[in-house]
Amino acid sequence: MATALITGSSRGIGAAIALRLAEDGYDIALNDISEAMFEDNDIIDKIKAQGVMCESFVADVSSYDQCEQMVKDVKAKLGTIDVLVNNAGITRDGLLARMSEESFDSVIAVNQKSVFNMTKFVGSVMMKQRSGRIINLSSVAGLWGNPGQFNYSASKAAIIGMTKTVAKELGSRGITCNAVAPGFIKTPMTDKLTEAQKENILRMIAMRRYGTVEEIAGVVSFLASKDASYVTGQVIEISGGLSM
Ligand code: NAP
C-alpha cells in the first residue's frame, strides 16, 4: 500500500487533499502544528472509512528537527512515503510599509522553509526507493504578486523555484515535483477577507465564484496519479480564470 503525507492537513485544503488521496487508495499521514486540531475533528474517521490507514503527526513544519523526527515517525508507523504534499501555510497580511519583521519571518519560516525541511527528509526516503511524487502548494500570489501579501507572495514564489529545482535534481531518480497555484478558495484563510475585498476578487474571476477545496484536491490527485508520470517541474494554476 502506498502512503501520502500531507502537511497542515487537519482542515481546509490539506484535509480535502488527504481525503481525496485516501479515496485514491493511499494510507494517509496527517500533520498539524497542534494536537488540538485533531480533537473534535472527524477527518481521521472520514479517511479510515475509505478502508485505508490514517495516523496523525504533530509537528511544526518550520522546525528542521521536528520535520526530521516526523519523517522518521511516519516511516515507522506507515512503512514508507510515496507522496508528499507540502500544504501547510499561513498568512500575516499587511502593506509592506507597515509589515513587521516578525510577520515577514514567520510567513517565510512556515510557508517556505518548511518546503526545504520536508523535501530534504522525504526526498531522501524517495531517492532510496527511486520513486515519489512531491506536490507543493504555491498560490496565484506567488505567480503574480498581491498587494498586502509581500511576505506571502515571496514565500509562494520561492516555492515555484524550489519545485523546479527539485524536479531537476530528483527527476533521474523517478521522482516528480510539481506545484499547484490556487486562486481564491473558500477556506478559513479566505473567510478572513472583508466583504469589500471579496466582492473585488469575484469581479476579477472569469468563473465569478470561489474555488472549492475539492477542486484543489482533484488536481493534486491527478499529479499523484499514474496519468501524471511524465509531468514534472510544472505549476498548475487553479483559479477559475483569475489571471488572464
Ligand atoms: P488553512 O485552512 O489555514 O489550513 C492550513 C493548515 O496548516 C492549518 O491546519 C494550520 O494549522 C496548518 N499549519 C499552520 N502552520 C503550521 C505549521 N507550522 N506546522 C504544521 N501545520 C501548520 O489554509 P488553507 O486555505 O487550507 O491553505 C492550505 C495551503 O493552500 C496553504 O499553503 C495556502 O497558502 C495555500 N493556498 C490557499 C488559498 C486559499 O484561497 N485558501 C489560495 C492559494 C494558496 P493551525 O490552524 O493550527 O494553524
Helices vs. strands in the chain: H and E counts, helices first: 10, 7
Residues 6+ apart with CB under 8 A from 55: 28, 29, 30, 74, 77, 78
Task: Specify the pLDDT at position 1.
Answer: 80
What is the spatial distance between Cα 232 and Cα 211, in angstroms, rounded to a whole number?
24
Three cell numbers written together for 188: 478559513
- Residue from 212, 184, 181, 182 nearest 198 by CA: 184
pTM score, whole prediction: 0.97
Read off the pLDDT of residues 126-173 as tens digits, 9 standing for 90 and up.
999 999 999 999 999 999 999 999 999 999 999 999 999 999 999 999
Three cell numbers written together for 195: 466583504
Question: Distance, CA 10 to ligand 1 centroid (Å)?
Answer: 9
Read off the pLDDT of residues 46-75 as tens digits, 9 standing for 90 and up.
999 999 999 999 999 999 999 999 999 999
Question: Distance, CA 226 to ligand 1 centroid (Å)?
Answer: 27
Question: Distance, CA 30 to ligand 1 centroid (Å)?
Answer: 13
Q: Is the C-beta atom of 175 inside 6 A of ligand 1?
A: no
Task: Specify the pLDDT at position 22.
Answer: 98
CB atoms within 10 A of CB 225: 14
What is the spatial distance between Cα 220 and Cα 204, in angstroms, rounded to a whole number?
24
Question: Does 210 qualify as catalytic in the annotation?
Answer: no
Task: Specify the pLDDT at position 16.
Answer: 98
If you take atom 35 of ligand 1, which residue's CA is the nearest one? 137
Task: Specify the pLDDT at position 197.
Answer: 85
Mutate which of 187, 212, 214, 216 to test ligand 1's pocket (most atoms within 8 Å of Cβ)? 187
Task: For residue 187, name the pLDDT band (cuts at 50, 70, 90).
Answer: confident
